Amino acid sequence: MPKNDSAFQRSELAKLLTACGESADFLTFSLYENSPFFIAYFKTLVKPEIIHHDILPIVKEEFSTLEEIKEKLLIEDLSITDNIPDIQDKLMTGNLIFYTKEGQPACLAVPAPAVEKRQVATPETEYSVVGPKEAFVESLDTNLNLVRKRLPIPELQVKELMVGKLSKTRIAVVYVKGIADSDNVNTVIQRIQGIEYDEIADSSFLSQMITDNKNSPFPQLVDTERPDRLAALLAEGKVAIFSDGSPTAISGPVSLITFFTAFEDYLSIWNVASAFRLLRLIAVLFSVLATSTYVAILTYHYEMIPRDVLSLLITSRGSIPFPPFLEAVLLELAIELLWEAGARLPTKIGQTIGIVGGIVLGTAAVQAGLTSNVLLIVVATGALASFTTPIYQLSNVIRLIRFPFILLAQLLGLVGVAVCFAFLMSHLLKLTSLGRPFLEPIYPLRVKDFKDSIIRLPFSKQALRPLQIRAKDRVRFQQEAPQKKEWDIDD
Amino acid sequence: MLPLPPESRKVSPFFVFYLIVAAQFGLGVFSFQRYIVKAVGNDAWIAVIIAGLSIHIVLWMIYQILNKGTNDITVIHKELFGKGLGGLLSLALIVYLLTLAVSVFRSYIELIQVWIFPQLETWYMALILSSLVYVYVIGGFRVVVGICFLSFILTTPIFFIMLEFPLRHVHFSHLLPILDHTAVEFLSASKKMAYSLTGFETLFFFYPFIKNAPSSQKWVHYGAAFSTFSYLVIMIVSLMYFTKAQLLESIWPTLTIWKIADFPFLERFEFMGLSLWLFNALNSVCIFIWAGTRGLKQLFTVKQKHSLIFVIIMTAVVAVLLKNREQIEQLNTVMGLVSLYVIYAYIPFLFFYQMIKSKMRRTS
């Protein structure tokens, strides 16, 4: 019964059109009097220029079938379909559809999407003084273009997936075939396919949904907004994930050391870069331990303070009414407040907050005798030190883990600090990134991977890719055979 | 035959080094001097060497036993002695290791109580320590190896750096005359030393967890040599720094040595050192408890995560029940004696028994 069947199909399409028609930005009209064809589209999703210049002038003539229109239009990717969900998708992604009300069940979809996107701008959270100044934007295609420009090889492969019942977010899994471990790629793809969620707004959603330990405060995938950094990660054999609408790409597997790596490290000489990387590690250690050690020593182990330092501390702390713990927590909270208040404010107001909070409040607190100068210095240096991490996500963790340390320092002194450190280490030892150990190369100890971890050796020493990523092809470049002739002075 | 652990749970052979050092180099470095000096006075360092060398022979025997058995000790016991007697022997070894864990556990709490917090309740510290042990052992063997490794890189450099301070005030003449004691005296001193070097029996349980296990033997020897060297160095320094009378009087000479350190920003280093030694106590307890619970799993097919909770609670309870110095000392003395029998009687016996049995099988 072809007639009934087509009538059914028609009514499905009609239902869809009525449903869409409830929105004010949905247009449907016929081309001219008695035309068998109707046009329907969302005017907020299409580009008027395409419709007015490329479509309407051509379809003004009389046509009898959709195929004829299809042949006339000089636009790629046209399709004729009678699949209702397909038609709906086309409509929602900026297509015009041509349809007839007479018997024919098919629709012609003509893509005319209006793409709103930001210009490629300079990186803001991973700014570097030297080096490229491009950053990813919200458009997936632009981002892929930025990466492809840096790795112009066919082996750079992109797998596209769709996630999110409502947002229908396009996700791209990018890797270099032949270098990236296929286990890693499969793990990523499987985990993304397993995501059940309605709306994916940003790649950090994905990052949280596919990490190994979802309760860990530590980020287990690195996120970057720099195409140069991402290209370097891909060339190393890592897998990258883009999400449409997100200006950051995530990448893995990573180790903790990756979060201490700034791309600038690769742009400066290796010994300078290594020194700064070590500085960052020490800074983070200081940031985590400084306040708690202060609390522990001043509360329980005042014997440890040398006499000269003790006199200084007595002058500074003599009139403070609070125990060191309360003093430290108050000051740490004040700094957290300052941070949190300034985080989402426009720059101009943010500066005011900094001046009022930092300078006025800090000075006043010391003069009023609420906190000691020494602690103020310790806490402020600790806060400053936590900013040295190149990846923003990690500095949040460092902010957070200071507090359990302070609490245990109050309970058990230095033993408490050690206990807290042991708990932290137990967590880090168990953590994995896409199934690869997170503390590598320290544990499991891989001496060869130290060449680009807490230090960075010159490029000539980086002939092999790191073991952690399990790259298929470990050889970055063929090393020249060492010269046989031994050197001598003035030879 | 019980299944061997999967490849993904195994560790590289060189990690055995850290495991052995973790088991041997623990809280013993603080207090071992007195017992040995009591027997041989200024020749105590020779006793350390003798004990260290004898340990290498025992380690060699352990490897011979395990290489032939190619599985852990519970399986080897079953093959050699049958299910009943073999199981009993395995259980005895497990109880021995768990008691060692209790001994380390309680000794660390005691150190904290004596040196840092005199008012600290034992149960309070036991609660914290046992939860730490739990989070490590529940992570499996690799995490236990991880704490051993981390503890090694955190504590051993500090141990050697701290020797710099007493070296400014040493008297070489304290070491003279060398070899001034009888063989019997040396033997009794070495017996005392062996207790400090104990703990490597855990090898019987973690052997199947090592990749290409027979090749790890050299790392075991390096590990034992490293521990012996550390004990030797601190012994020589203590002998030269203290007089014999002082050494006989002090329970924790190493900590007394740490007290003299004076950095421009820090004094009384033993507070910081003892806090850091948490890692050193923790790793020993973790290996002992991991090995014990692993043995229980092999013997009774009880889930390790369940027996772990039971064992940790028992450890903490026993530790709290040991109220004072005398009881801890008593436990240590008994364990010293037992470990002597385990090292020098039981392991050689097992070695020869296995050898004879395999020869008999070949001839028949």
Q: Which amino acid is at A119?
A: Q
Candidate from A301, A305, A430 with C-beta closest to B143: A430
Q: What is the residue-wise DSSP string for B105-125? A: HHHHHHHHHHHT-TT--HHHH
Q: A423 contacts in B (CB within 8 Å)? A: 132, 135
- Is A475 near chain B, with CB under 8 Å? no
pLDDT tens track for A225-257: 999 999 999 999 999 999 998 999 999 899 999
Residue A4: predicted pLDDT: 46
Whether A422 sits inside 8 A of B146 (CB atoms) is no
Domains of chain B: 7-351 (1.20.1740.10)
Whether A136 and A105 have beta carbons less than 8 Å apart is answered as no
Q: How far is A449 from chain B (nearest CA, A)?
A: 16
CB contact under 8 A, A305 and B267: yes
Interface of B with A in 316-345 (CB under 8 A): none
Contact A413 B267 (CB under 8 A): no
The enclosing H or E element of A18 equals helix A2-21
Q: How far apart are CA B11 and CA B211, in angstroms?
A: 6
Residue of A169, A147, A173 lying closest to A160 (CA atoms): A173
Q: How far apart are CA A220 and CA A255, in angstroms?
A: 8
Residue in B closest to A415 by C-alpha:
B275
Check if A285 contacts B (Cβ < 8 Å). Answer: no
A192 shares contact with chain B (CB less than 8 Å): no
Q: Is A491 in the B-facing interface, judged by CB distances under 8 Å? A: no
Closest CA to B186 of B58, B36, B56: B36
Tell me how far apart the alpha carbons of residues B290 and B305 are, in angstroms, rounded to a whole number: 10
Query: Do the chains contact at B116 and A300, CB–CB below 8 Å?
Result: yes
CB-CB neighbors (< 8 A) of A444 in chain B = 11-12, 15, 142
- Residues of chain A with Cβ-Cβ distance to B263 below 8 Å are 306
Does ipTM exceed 0.90?
yes
Residues of B in contact with A445 (CB under 8 A): 14-15, 149
Measured between CB atoms, does B187 come within 8 Å of chain A? Answer: no
C-alpha A85/C-alpha A12 separation (Å) is 10
Nearest CA in chain A to B140: A430
Could you give the CA distance from residue B39 to residue B41 in angstroms, rounded to a whole number? 6
Q: What is the pLDDT of residue A7?
A: 60
Q: Do B271 and A305 touch (CB under 8 A)?
A: no
Q: Which of B302, B298, B353, B343 minimizes the C-alpha distance to B74?
A: B298
State yes or no: pLDDT of B93 exceeds 60: yes
On the question of pLDDT at B263 being above 60, the answer is yes
Q: Is B255 on the interface with A (CB under 8 A)?
A: no
Question: Are A300 and B267 in contact (CB < 8 Å)?
Answer: no
Nearest to A426 among B116, B135, B262 (CB): B135
Choose the mutation target among B114, B135, B151 for the interface with A, i.e. most A CBs under 10 Å: B135
Q: Does B266 touch chain A (CB under 8 A)?
A: yes
Q: Do B139 and A305 touch (CB under 8 A)?
A: no
CB contact under 8 A, A301 and B139: no
User: Is B132 an interface residue toward A (CB < 8 Å)?
Assistant: yes
Angstrom distance (rounded) from CA A488 to CA A53:
76
Question: Does B172 contact chain A (CB < 8 Å)?
Answer: no
Contact of A423 with chain B, judged by CB distance below 8 Å, is answered with: yes
For chain B, give the number of residues: 364
Over residues B198-252, the pLDDT tens digits come to: 989 999 999 999 999 889 999 999 999 999 999 999 999 999 999 989 999 888 9
pLDDT value, residue A3 = 46
CA gap A121, A137 in Å, rounded: 8
B117 and A309: CB-CB below 8 Å? no
Q: Is the pLDDT of residue B145 over 70?
A: yes
What's the pLDDT score for residue A366? Answer: 85
Contacts of B272 in chain A (CB under 8 A): 304, 414
Those residues with Cβ within 8 angstroms of residue A47's Cβ, 6 or more apart along the chain or in another chain? A94, A112, A113, A114, A115
Chain A residues closer than 8 Å to B270 by CB: none
Q: Which of B139, B269, B282 sits opposite A422 (nearest CB)?
A: B282
Residue of A nearest to B270 (CA): A304
Interchain contact, B271 vs A309, CB within 8 Å = no
Q: Which pLDDT belongs to residue A1?
A: 35
Q: B342 falls in which pLDDT band (50, 70, 90)?
A: very high
Alpha helices in A300-391 (DSSP H): 307-317, 324-343, 347-353, 362-367, 373-386
Q: What is the Cα–Cα distance from A155 to A472, expressed in whole angstroms?
A: 13
Question: Are the beta carbons of A303 and B271 separated by less than 8 Å?
Answer: yes
Q: What is the distance in angstroms between the Cα of A423 and the nearest Cα belonging to chain B? A: 7
* Chain A nearest-CA residue for B10: A444
Looking at beta carbons, which residues of chain B come within 8 Å of A443? 146, 149-150
Q: Is the distance from CB of A259 to CB of A279 less than 8 angstroms?
A: no
pLDDT tens per residue, chain A (491 residues)?
A: 344 445 655 567 888 888 888 888 888 888 777 777 888 888 888 888 888 888 888 877 777 777 888 888 888 888 888 888 888 888 888 888 888 777 666 788 888 888 778 888 898 888 888 889 999 999 999 999 999 999 999 999 999 999 988 888 999 999 999 899 999 999 999 999 999 999 998 999 999 999 999 999 999 999 999 999 999 999 999 999 999 989 999 998 999 998 998 888 899 999 999 999 999 999 999 999 999 999 999 999 988 999 888 898 888 888 888 999 999 999 999 888 888 888 788 888 878 887 887 788 888 888 888 888 899 999 989 988 988 888 888 888 998 899 999 999 999 999 999 999 999 999 999 999 998 899 988 888 888 888 888 888 888 888 888 888 888 888 888 877 776 777 788 87
pLDDT higher than threshold 50 for residue B144: yes
Cβ within 8 Å of residue B300, ≥6 positions away: none
R_g of chain A, CA atoms, integer Å: 30
B278 touching chain A per CB within 8 A: yes
Q: Is A448 on the interface with B (CB under 8 A)?
A: no
Contact A429 B12 (CB under 8 A): no
Q: Is B150 on the interface with A (CB under 8 A)?
A: yes
| Phi/psi at A253 (5° precision) | -75, 150
- Is residue A159 classed exposed, middle or buried when 0-12, 13-18 and 19+ CB atoms within 10 A define those classes? middle
Q: For the whole model, what pTM was predicted?
A: 0.91
Q: B279 and chain A: CB distance < 8 Å anywhere? A: yes
Question: A15: which residues sit within 8 A by CB, 6+ positions away?
Answer: none
Chain A residues with CB inside 8 Å of B276's CB?
Answer: 418
CA gap A267, A264 in Å, rounded:
5
Q: Do B267 and A304 touch (CB under 8 A)?
A: yes
* Alpha helix positions (H), chain B: 15-24, 28-31, 33-40, 44-69, 73-115, 122-137, 141-161, 183-196, 203-206, 217-241, 244-249, 253-259, 269-300, 304-321, 325-341, 347-363
Helix (H, G, I), strand (E, B) or coil at A251: strand
CA A256 to chain B, closest CA, distance in angstroms equals 15
For B261, the closest chain A residue by CA position comes to: A304
- What CA–CA distance (Å, rounded) separates B280 from A430? 19
* pLDDT at res. A33: 73
Q: B116 and A429: CB-CB below 8 Å?
A: no
Q: Is A1 exposed, middle or buried (0-12, 13-18, 19+ CB in 10 A)?
A: exposed
Are residues B147 and A413, on separate chains, in Cβ contact within 8 Å? no
Q: What is the pLDDT of residues B179-202, one digit of tens each?
A: 888 889 999 999 888 888 998 999
Residues of A in contact with B267 (CB under 8 A): 303-306
